[in-house]
Amino acid sequence: MILTAACPRTGTAWTSTGRPHEARGLKHRPGGTIRVVPVPPVLVAMLRSHLGESGTAPDGRLFWGARGGMLSESVYGRAWHAARQAALGAELAATALARRPYDLRHAALSLWLNASGTPADVAARAGNSARVLHGVYLHCTDGQEDIVSQRIEDALDADASIASSPPDAKASGLAHRRSHPRPCPLICP
């Protein structure tokens, strides 16, 4: 998807037009810039289906209110809470899990970071800086030490015939370091 502008709801007191929504450039970007957002194939299929059934509003928006205007926050909120209740069930819906639609962004970025292990790529995909990504999402990669160690070991062990260490020795230290809390030795028994 190519994003070219935003139209956030800021309230009538904060816009120059006296209307609750104001067209703006993309957040934290110079005017006139675009942002390319990769979209998974399953979402592309859903959006194409929606476009085929409903088309777009005259101004190009994918979703609009009953009278053709912007979706009101109350309509959006009711739809979100009904979908959340249906998806989670009463017990989980009573918790803070996915309480706001924005929580889905946090879940997505945590998933991407854990799945890829490449913070710079995840930050670019999300439209964040790597610094923001690390500051907000670094905690979600807890427990990745063994995976990272294995990747480093695999990269170092590109040609196994050169290695002279015993087959059970690991460059990354003990195979299950969390059960053996000590610094990584140079040679493991």
Which strand (E) or helix (H) includes residue 90? helix 73-93
Specify the pLDDT at position 45. 95
Q: Which two tokens stand for residue 138?
A: 């670094």
pLDDT at 94 over 70: yes
Q: Which two tokens mark 28? A: 């934290």
Tokens matching residue 1: 């998807």
Lowest mean pLDDT: which of 28-42, 102-116, 155-169? 155-169
| Contacts for 120 with CB less than 8 Å, ≥ 6 apart | 130
Q: Mapping DSSP to helix (H, G, I), strand (E, B) and coil, where does residue 9 land?
A: strand
The answer for 127, left when phi > 0, alpha when psi is -120 to 50, beta otherwise, is: left
Query: CB-based contacts of 80: which residues, under 8 Å, 6+ apart?
Result: 101
Least confident of 45-59, 84-98, 163-177: 163-177
State the pLDDT confidence band at 182, using cuts at 50, 70 and 90: very low
According to the model, what pLDDT value does residue 84 have? 95
Average model confidence (pLDDT) for the chain? 80
Residue 64: band (very low, low, confident or very high) from pLDDT cuts 50, 70, 90: confident
> Per the structure block, which two tokens stand in for 88?
């989670």
Confidence at residue 162, expressed as pLDDT on a 0 to 100 scale: 54
Cα–Cα distance, 8 to 145 (Å, whole number): 40
According to DSSP, residue 139 is labeled G
pLDDT exceeds 90 at position 50: yes
Please, are residues 93 and 84 in contact by the beta-carbon 8 Å criterion?
Answer: yes
Mean pLDDT of all residues in 54-67: 87
The predicted model gives 123-134 an average pLDDT of 86
* 129-180 per-position pLDDT tens digit: 888 888 888 777 767 778 878 888 888 887 654 555 555 555 444 444 444 3
* pLDDT band for position 86 (cuts 50, 70, 90): very high
User: How much is the pTM?
Assistant: 0.62
Domain boundaries in the chain?
A: 1-40, 72-101
